[in-house]
């Protein structure tokens, strides 16, 4: 009996805050969205454990997302479609590393 009470309280601990927050923001929260919350929290848990294990295995590694891949014309300060012929310097080297 205690297991059922614990499971039910765990489900309410997931569903109730999402329902209340949705109503406070005047969102139409459906039962389908609330039913997907355990799946969402499971995936968040998997991502957190993967990050913890990655931190333990490679403590000084930074899995950085590559941003700023669009070449920039330093003379005009605008983005261009392709690399400019005279856009040398460190930013071009960084872009070449990602290509």
What's the pLDDT tens digit per position in 47-82? 999 999 999 999 888 877 766 665 665 565 555 555
**Helices (H) and strands (E) in the chain — how many of each?**
4, 2
pLDDT at 46: 96
Domain enclosing residue 90, as ranges:
64-99
Tokens 């990655």 locate to 54
Reported as a pLDDT band with limits 50, 70 and 90, residue 92 is low
Q: Residue 84 pLDDT > 90, yes or no?
A: no
Same-domain check for residues 15 and 51: yes
Same-domain check for residues 52 and 82: no
What's the start-to-end Cα distance of the chain, in Å? 59
Same-domain check for residues 37 and 68: no
Separation between Cα atoms, residue 49 and residue 4, nearest integer Å: 26
Same-domain check for residues 25 and 52: yes
Same-domain check for residues 49 and 6: yes
Reported as a pLDDT band with limits 50, 70 and 90, residue 35 is confident
Same-domain check for residues 42 and 75: no
Number of domains in the chain: 2
Q: Residue 87 pLDDT > 60, yes or no?
A: no
Same-domain check for residues 76 and 52: no
């Amino acid at each position: 009996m205690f297991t059922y009470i614990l499971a039910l309280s765990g489900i309410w601990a997931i569903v109730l805050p999402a329902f209340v927050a949705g109503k406070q923001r005047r969102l139409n929260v459906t039962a389908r969205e609330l039913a997907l919350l355990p799946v969402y929290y499971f995936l968040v848990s998997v991502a957190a454990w993967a990050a913890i294990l990655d931190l333990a295995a490679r403590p000084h590694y930074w899995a950085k997302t590559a941003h700023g891949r669009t070449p920039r014309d330093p003379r005009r300060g605008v983005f261009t479609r392709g690399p400019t012929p005279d856009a040398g310097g460190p930013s071009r080297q960084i872009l070449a590393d990602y290509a």
